[in-house]
Structure 1
Amino acid sequence: MNFTIVLFVSMFCGLILAQDNATGATETEETGETKSSCPDMHDLLIEFGAMREKLTSVETRLKESENQILEQRNKERTKVIFSTAVAQGEKHVGPFNTDITLSYKRVITNIGDAYNPSTGIFNAPVAGVYYFTIFYTAGGNREGKLFLYKNNDLVVMTSDHITQYDGADNGGNAVFLQLQQRDQVYVRMAANSHVWGNDYYTTFSGFLVTQM
């Protein structure tokens, strides 16, 4: 609408000047006032140009804000939550003569399908901060010892020593981990140690706190 008005005024100013030239009109106070309005037109064009630049800048910022909102919404849609338990037909798992990766066969929750019950390994689907917990119950006549790994690095552990007077031992630990996409997290059981199974006693859980 503004640019239409500017164009109309410009044409009107041009018609007046053309009429003055055709009639050979001398400069009078009236024509002087008419001509003086034409320089004002130049100032208006400059002002509207500045307004257009401001509008373009605002549109750019709005577009950037929209992209940020869409990116945040995509992050919020990423849900990663899992909770598992060691499932064994017998009461306990182990002992073994070497460290083993525990395979938690009973999948209680696996939103996002990031945990693989066949391998016992959690694979991070997106980069972010995750929270993991490990808990176990074991007989007191043998040591219970679990390690939580990120890729090839030991992060936290939980253990309890052998006791002759305690029929059962419990242990647990938890940690926040910053992971990159495809990082792996899993639990290893130490050689010559054991844990109880039976679907309920020994668990491995985790969830995505925030995507990065």
Structure 2
Amino acid sequence: MRSMSALASISAEVFKGVLPCGKWDCECAFRHQKGCCCAGLDLHELEVKMFRKMMTLVSTVSQLGDSIYDVIGSKRVAFTVFLGANVKCIGPFPRNTTIPYDVIILNDGDGYKPALGVFTASCSGLYSFTFTVYSKVAKPSERMFYKVQLVKNGVVVASTVENNKQDSEDSATQVVLLVLQRGDQVYVELKTGRQLCGNIQGLNIFSGHLVYPIPT
């Protein structure tokens, strides 16, 4: 009885058709393990190409990460300030007056200037601002009368108002998203003739942060 290798050799010799791939070795399938030959060269070339593509992809992702850090990571802008315990009442004033938040909790980027009570954008971008207003009256029958507003470059963009004799104390919060250009200024002001009193430390707050920069 002829061996399997001899039969395979005869089968290969009598085959007169066209091989499915010019690089394939038909005898390889009978003389070696199936996964080691036939399409071995093609698979090796494919493996090399895939490896090169993976390395290119890794390099591209790394460069993208560096670019994102350059755009966002290096721009750290955030602040939180409030009125301290030594402030008892603010106002009334004959004109709109910037509220002088005197206690600084956070001021990354040094955008908030306590001497002015004003935040100045160091880069163009989308910013989030929050201000909380608290006030109380000395006696239950007294009138609570205030209007506090968030201002961008002299234009009011949000406000909170109270004018009644029913509440002995009250608070309100506003959150606003603003697109700012570099150098734009944002601040909180007390409206003409209004008054804030009983400013318990930490209850009159102004804060903001850069959400993401906008290329100019």
1:71 aligns with 2:72: no
5+ residue gaps, structure 2, are 1-55, 138-142
1:117 is matched with which residue: 114, 117, 123? 114
Cα shift at 1:67: 6.3
Name the CA distance, whole Å, in 1 between partners of 2:205 and 2:86: 16
TM-score (norm 2): 0.63
Cα shift at 1:111: 1.3
Name the CA distance, whole Å, in 1 between partners of 2:121 and 2:60: 29
Aligned to 2:124: 127
2:104 is matched with which residue: 107, 124, 127? 107
SS in 2 for 1:156: strand
1:203 aligns with 2:200: no
C-alpha RMSD of matched pairs (Å): 2.5
TM-score (norm 1): 0.64
Cα shift at 1:84: 0.5
The structure with more helix, counted as a fraction of residues: 1
Letter of the structure 1 residue corresponding to residue 135 of structure 2: A
Aligned to 2:146: 144
Aligned to 2:187: 186
Name the CA distance, whole Å, in 1 between partners of 2:58 and 2:93: 62
Letter of the structure 2 residue corresponding to residue 203 of structure 1: I
Deviation string 1:21-63 (CA, Å, 9 cap, x unpaired) is xxxxxxxxxxxxxxxxxxxxxxxxxxxxxxxxxxxxxx9x999
The number of residues matched between the two structures is 154
Aligned to 1:158: 160
Letter of the structure 2 residue corresponding to residue 94 of structure 1: G
Letter of the structure 1 residue corresponding to residue 74 of structure 2: R
5+ residue gaps, structure 1, are 1-58
Q: Share of identical aligned residues, percent?
A: 28
Letter of the structure 2 residue corresponding to residue 76 of structure 1: G
- Please say if residues 144 and 168 of structure 2, whose CA atoms lie closer than 8 Å, have aligned partners that are also in contact: no
